[in-house]
Amino acid sequence: MFESTKAILPELILVITTFYLTLRSASGRAKRGSLYIEALIGAICALVCLFLFSEKYYGFKAFYSTIELDKTAFFFRMIFISLAIFVIVMTAKSTEISDYLFGENLVLVFSITTGMCFVASSIDLLMIYFSLEWISLSSYLLTGFIAHKRSSSEAGMKYTLFGGIASAVMLFGMSWLFGVTGTLKLDEIPAAFAASHSIMMMFSLVLILVGFAFKVAAVPLHFWVPDVYQAASTPITTLFSIGPKAAGFAVLIRVFYYSFYNSEETALLMESLKPGLEIVFQFFAAFTMTAGNLLALRQENIKRMLAYSSISHAGFLLMGVAAMSDKGIQALYFYIFIYLLMNGGAFFVVNLIINRWGAENISDYEGLGWRGGSQSMIAVAMSVFLFSLAGLPPFGGFIGKWFIFAAAVEKHMYALVVVGLVNIVIALYYYARILRAMYLVQTVSPRTEIRLKINEGFFMGALSLSLIYYGIFFPPFMGYLKTIIP
């Protein structure tokens, strides 16, 4: 037990920080600045611990084999904790989050991060359910807790109802699976499977899939996304658009790929499930990317547009799942990492503009590239993020999409690939609308000049340069990702 506790040291630090911040903000005297610094220190400590001590525990199954701290878990925990740091930096000066709520906001960010870290490492159905609910509850609160904003409460309510039903369905599916196989452990389920169970098995897996699809916001379980993304404060939207989605994919891959596809004892199971599952994922992927893109076309609010675009990115990621091969999963991991950089970057700029100008429509970006000084730099960085999101070379987003397409072509999913390719063209149209506003419209409306702080400039520059770096010199990282698939 003690060994288990040591193994989850990063999560432990996150939990301790959560409690610490709760007490600090409850005392009511904490200044915003000092809370920010303390939160940042907590998150960075967690990340450092993760890098220092996780190698020792690869393959270690903690807490009665409910958690496995393997390389995949390490990769995802790294993403989640980095994301938390990113979000904390974004909240620092956010005008959307009042000083009064700042402490609570940080507490919830830490809580959701802890939940996501556990999702990435659970190998037990109960643990999966528990940690997914952990994420969900924190998200509901994060969406709805700006009480004076009506849209926030409305979105929070919508999210809660939707999420509640989705997790109920998922729990139902899990109970079926337990009934059929008599075990909750993912690695024991395939062995407990008998051919006569295949229909019940399929049924329960589809129900479980509903829960996961809700988390990754796959169509038709995406209806909560635009409202929630628009209503939440921008740093939290950034968190939502990357974190729970990545967590959803982590668990999706663990359940549907690692445990079912990967070993010889699963041959019997897969024989009966494979065709059905692949079709399901292909349809999910095709509908998700197409619907997300089509809905994004006409949005005026940039947060809403990015919300819909994140749906379509989930569609591309699902294409990697649909391929059901190591190559597909590897590509998906790469894409998630790049997505963290490019979507995070785009939201960073959106956050900046909202804080300085209080403006979040695409038309507010008009002439941004012509204002000179820091503002031209923001526009250049934003262009890099958008081109990368659109999937054009030489940026990382292109490589991510390319590897996913490669995996799908290998499995002869030509129809799905064509849908994906057409979607790249559609997506370019709405990303180009922002480019058009920034550069092609050259009238500069009177607004206060934005001056970048050094750390903001550094952040943006680092993100855009790393997108170019991973667009050209990606092979070593790609090679690393290959090793994390068991």
Partner 1 sequence: MDNYILSIITFAPLAGALLILLMPSSSRKMIQWTSVVFTAIPLVLAFRLYQNFLPSNTGLHEANLYQFVEKYSWISSFNINYYVGIDGLSITMVILSALISFIGVFASFSIQKAIKGYFALYLLLCTAMMGVFVSLDFFLFYVFWEVMLLPMYFLIGIWGGPRREYAAIKFFLYTLFGSVFMLLVMLFFYYNAHTFSLVELASIMVSREYPGYLNVANFRIAAWVLLFIGFAIKIPAFPFHTWLPDAHVEAPTAISVILAGVLLKMGTYGLLRISYPLLPHETMMMAPYALGALGIVNIIYGAFVAMAQNDLKKLIAYSSISHMGYVMLGMAAFNVEGMNGALFQMFNHGTITAMLFIMVGVIYDRAHHRNINELGGLIQHMPRYAVFTAFAFFAGLGLPGLSGFISEVLVFLGAFKVYPVLTAIAASGVVLTAAYLLWAYMRVFFDKVQERYKDFKDINGIEMFSVLPVAFFILLFGVYPAPYLKLVEPTMTKMTSIIAEPAAVTFNFLNQLSHFFFKG
Residues that bind partner 1 (CB under 8 A): 370, 387, 392-394, 398, 402, 405-406, 409-410, 414, 417-418, 421-422, 424-425, 428-429, 432, 435-436, 439-440, 442, 474-475, 478-479, 482
258 versus 405: smaller Cβ distance to partner 1:
405
64 versus 414: smaller Cβ distance to partner 1:
414
**Cα distance between residue 409 and residue 296, in whole Å:** 27
**Cα distance between residue 349 and residue 285, in whole Å:** 28
DSSP codes, 249-289: HHHHHIIIIIHHHSSGGGHHHHHHHHHHHHHHHHHHHHHHH
SS3 label, residue 61: strand
23 versus 440: smaller Cβ distance to partner 1:
440
Nearest approach in angstroms of CB 314 to partner 1 is 20
**Cα distance between residue 78 and residue 48, in whole Å:** 10
Burial of 104 (0-12, 13-18, 19+ CB in 10 A): middle
**Cα distance between residue 261 and residue 275, in whole Å:** 13
**Cα distance between residue 92 and residue 321, in whole Å:** 36
239 versus 386: smaller Cβ distance to partner 1:
386
Cβ contact 95:354 at 8 Å: yes
Looking at the DSSP bridge assignments, the partners of residue 67 are 62, 122
Nearest approach in angstroms of CB 19 to partner 1 is 45
211 versus 420: smaller Cβ distance to partner 1:
420
Nearest approach in angstroms of CB 312 to partner 1 is 15
51 versus 414: smaller Cβ distance to partner 1:
414
99 versus 410: smaller Cβ distance to partner 1:
410
In this structure, which amino acid lies at residue 171?
Answer: L
Q: Name the residue among 196, 213, 198, 205 with its Cα closest to residue 177.
A: 205
Longest CA span, the chain: 71
Nearest approach in angstroms of CB 475 to partner 1 is 5
